[in-house]
Amino acid sequence: MITAERKPLEELIEYIRPYRRILLVGCNECVTVCAAGGRKEVGLLASGLQMALLKAGASIEVREHTLERQCDPEYVEELVPMLDGVDAVMSMACGCGVQEVARRFKNKPVYPALNTKFMGASERQGVWAERCMGCGNCLLGETGGICPIARCAKQLMNGPCGGSTNGHCEIGDDVDCAWALIWERLKELGQQDRYVEIAPAKDWRAGKGAGPRKIIREDLAE
């Protein structure tokens, strides 16, 4: 999923200070799962904003709505009847959702309430960790299902650096060395020969090397 964290309240208040009425829009997808921008968080932030502004001697009306999926134009359309009289929109989706709302409603300022962080997985209750950087040419089949691009701080492609100690990255003991994990996993699978294969310089064109990417499925595209 795409993970996110809410921006500090002070930053959000600066965004909305000029306005009298805003629409706060959540998303029922990834940001709900990582407890950053779902229905519950929309309610909490709406109260928080109103209370903070009241305390500062100002006031604001916050309309609340949570879309099924904010990165999908079909669902964003739902917002049309809610925008009447609204000065600005604050989105609690990831950056994709924010941009979709901004693209659809060109005459309304749209502000992000979240900082979009990474594509990750849930490690345990309340903890999410980065797993994928969307390089566009997945090599997990060669690395025992552990990604050295997303999980090695130096994005090394041919084994660990000298900073790997007892399975930890030199960044800190709370960070696993991706290559130590890869080695252990390959051993378990009996695929140690993969470890000694030298990976050539990575072709980054499938990633951001060639600018913003787009997928076109001819069989589905209208």
Partner 1 sequence: MSFQKRLQAHEFVVLAEMHTPKGVNISRLMTDARRIKGRIDAVVIPDMDNGIMRMSAIAGGVLMQQQGVEAIIHTYCRDRNRMALQGDILAAHVLGIQNLIVAHSEEMSQGDHSDAKTVADLDEIGLLGAIRQLQAGRDLAGFDLDGIPSFTVGCTIAPCADAAELEAELAVAARKIEAGAMFVITPPVFDLSHFATQLPQFKKLGVPVIPTVFLLKSLAIAQYIANSEPGAHISDELTRRIRKSSDREQEGIQIAGETVAALKTMTEGVMIQTLGWEHKLPAILDIAGI
Neighbour-count burial for 198-215, b at 16+ CB within 10 Å, e otherwise: eeeebeeeeeeeeeeeee
CB 37, min distance to partner 1, A:
29
Q: What gap in Å lies between CA 20 and CA 47, rounded to an integer?
A: 15
Minimum distance of partner 1 from residue 206's CB (angstroms) = 9
Q: Least distance from C-beta 177 to partner 1, angstroms?
A: 22
Q: Is 209 in the site for partner 1 (CB under 8 A)?
A: yes
Calpha distance 177→165 (Å, rounded): 8
Indicate which single residue of 211, 214, 215, 219 sits in contact with partner 1 (rule: CB under 8 A): 211
Residues facing 26 on adjacent strands: 66
Distance, CA of 151 to CA of 80 (rounded, Å) = 41
Interface residue with partner 1, options 9, 210, 212, 221 (CB under 8 A): 210
Residues 177-206 that bind partner 1 (CB under 8 A): 201-205
Which CB sits closer to partner 1, 168 or 202? 202
Q: 5: Cβ–Cβ under 8 A, 6 or more apart, which residues?
A: 36, 114, 115, 117
For residue 26, the SS3 value is strand
Give the total of residues touching partner 1 (CB under 8 A): 10
| Shortest CB 105 distance to partner 1, Å | 25
Query: What is the smallest separation between the CB atom of 136 and partner 1, expressed in angstroms?
Result: 12
CB nearer to partner 1: give 117 or 202. 202
Are 16 and 60 in contact by the 8 Å Cβ rule? The answer is: yes
The pattern of x and - marking residues 145 through 184 that bind partner 1 according to CB under 8 A reads ----------------------------------------
Which residue, 57 or 212, has its beta carbon nearer to partner 1?
212
Nearest to 14 by CA among 82, 90, 81: 90
- How many other C-beta atoms lie within 10 A of the C-beta of residue 108? 16
User: Of 190 and 211, which CB lies nearer to partner 1 in the complex structure?
Assistant: 211
Binding positions for partner 1, rule: CB under 8 A:
201-205, 207-211
